[in-house]
Amino acid sequence: MEIVIPGTTNLSLFVVAAVALLLVPGPAVLYIVARSIEQGRLAGFVSDLGIHSATLVHVLAAALGLSAPLASSALAFAAVKYAGAAYLIWIGLKKIFGRAEKGEVAALKPASYSRLYRDGFIVNLLNPKTALFFLAFLPQFVDVGRGHVVSQIVVLGLIFTGLGFISDGCYALAASAAGKWLRQSRAYQSFERYVSGAIFIALGVSAAFAGNGKK
């Protein structure tokens, strides 16, 4: 397939719009922040990588038109939406009610990096708002006159994914720096599991009831 890039004007407008959208924290950012505070910078980056690996799936789906049935089918939208919300709530409940290590009331076993990647991937993959966002947003910056619409959408999606990985990585850095201080606080350690668990539950609830919008 021939690779076609949108015109300079469209591309510039797209980058500005993408950066503006990415600066507004969404569920993916909150997920990365929670992981970064809990396990540090690398955990945040791994979660970031998992989230944006799933973003690539949504980009490909939008390019191939596979998101259209999701947009037109209320049943399909609801099924994916509530599956993603339930997964987030399950993570939060597991953190709150999971068994603590003996002698360390608030300490939880850190998740492996493979699991962090998997959880980030699933959280974003099961977010139908992400699919609908790309279906609605990317085509606006395609230059139809250049042809190869699918190719242009893929290019725009890759740019957005790259920008998203960088911006979310900055959130991971900031959260991990704060996390070092928080983990040294005995007061924080006493209720850390409830704070982070509540964050995940809130994400699930917001994903279930929020309208269409930024992921």
DSSP letter at 3 equals -
CA 26 to chain CA centroid, Å, is: 8
pLDDT mean over 177-198:
66
Length of the chain: 215
More confident residue, 194 or 71: 194
What's the mean pLDDT when you consider all of the chain? 77
pLDDT in tens, 42-89: 999 999 999 999 999 999 888 887 656 666 777 776 776 777 778 778
Residue 69 corresponds to which tokens in the numbers above? 């049935």
Per-residue pLDDT at 187: 58
Name 161's Cβ contacts closer than 8 Å, sequence gap at least 6: 52, 55, 56, 59
Write out pLDDT tens, residues 98-114: 765 443 333 435 789 99
What is this structure's pTM? 0.70
pLDDT range class, residue 215, cuts 50, 70, 90: very low
Contact 37, 178 (CB under 8 A): yes
Q: Which of the two residues, 135 and 185, has the higher pLDDT score?
A: 135
pLDDT-based confidence at residue 117 (cuts at 50, 70, 90):
very high
Q: Give the three-state DSSP class for 102.
A: coil
Residue 126 identity: L
pLDDT digits (tens, 9 = 90+) for 137-156: 787 787 777 777 788 888 99
